Amino acid sequence: MKNPLPPAWLWPNRLSLDAPLIAVVWQDFLSRTYSIALSPSERVTLGLSVWVIYLADRFLDIRAAGAVPNSPAHIFQGQRRHLTISILGVALLADLFIAWAWLPRELLLAGFVLCTVVMAYLWVFSHYRPGSTYKTLAASALFTAGVFAAPWARMPVGPRHDGLPCLAFVLLCFANLQVLVRGRVVCVLPWLGVLALLGSAVVDSRITNWYLAISASALALFVVSRLEGRVSRSVWRSLVDMTLLTPILATYLPNFR
């Protein structure tokens, strides 16, 4: 028997829409940090691609586990598999159409390579338990690659080869997933890595706001992680995801481009 429908404000989380929103927000933030103009198609294809990957990943988790994993999104999509498959199919077709029709050919080639890596990720980790450290680390790296793909294609060679902003974001995403999986028991390495990378902000003042946003998200993530057990599980998981929306507030930072 299906559970009652959740409140409307929890639907984005149940349908895995929070991840595409976070990806597009950080892609926009990165492009504005480096004064890069992105087309609507580059933003839409990122959002649709991330949505398709998350829906497919959770669907494979459900099939591999034999029982629905214990997360609200997995439970919701497991109880409504036909709805999930329908949304996944429509999103995939729309993503492919927009990418083929409007993306620059060089970015389309990069997207094809990334898509191949994602397919390998889904195949390799389809039999890993949800929340495996290796899987969350790989997911963080792929998520970061998607966010950086379009802005990097337009960056000058120098900034493109600067991997510190990319690595800082990987660590932030990994910490976020570890909090969701393990709650308060968070590996100290991501936190130390993020704090160490913040010091590199002084090297290039153009990206100071990038590190400030990551620092704010890390601090918010730590605070929210301490709320586990004090608020309902659904609200807590939604708050964990919301900690990654700090770039929206970064628009109001002084001297932001």
Q: Express each pLDDT in 95-105 by its tens digit.
A: 999 999 999 88
The answer to whether residue 1 sits within a structural domain is no
The answer to whether residue 242 sits within a structural domain is yes
Please report which confidence band the pLDDT of residue 59 belongs to, taking 50, 70 and 90 as the band edges.
confident
The answer to whether residue 24 sits within a structural domain is yes
- Local structure of 116: helix, strand or coil: helix
pTM: 0.88
Percent share of the chain, pLDDT over 90: 31
The answer to whether residue 96 sits within a structural domain is yes
- Residue reference for tokens 């929103």: 21
Between 16 and 201, where is the model more confident?
Answer: 16
- Above 70 in pLDDT, residue 125? yes
218-229 per-position pLDDT tens digit: 888 888 888 888
71-81 per-position pLDDT tens digit: 777 677 777 78
Q: What's residue 200's pLDDT? A: 55
Between 257 and 210, where is the model more confident?
Answer: 210
Neighbours of 134 (CB within 10 A): 10
What number is the average pLDDT over the span 9-31? Answer: 87
How many domains, the chain?
1
**Full residue range of the structural domain in which residue 105 is found:** 9-250
Q: What's residue 220's pLDDT? A: 85
- Local structure of 129: helix, strand or coil: coil
Neighbours of 164 (CB within 10 A): 17
Tokens representing residue 1 in the block: 């028997």
The answer to whether residue 257 sits within a structural domain is no
The answer to whether residue 4 sits within a structural domain is no
What number is the average pLDDT over the span 38-53? Answer: 95
**Complete DSSP assignment for 127-184:** TSPTT-HHHHHHHHHHHHHHHHHHHHHHS-HHHHT--HHHHHHHHHHHHHHHHHHHTT
The answer to whether residue 256 sits within a structural domain is no
145-189 per-position pLDDT tens digit: 999 999 988 877 655 556 888 888 998 899 898 888 877 555 555
Judge residue 70's burial from the number of C-beta atoms within 10 Å of its C-beta, 0-12 exposed, 13-18 middle, 19 or more buried: exposed
Please report which confidence band the pLDDT of residue 115 belongs to, taking 50, 70 and 90 as the band edges.
very high
The answer to whether residue 71 sits within a structural domain is yes
- Above 70 in pLDDT, residue 211? yes
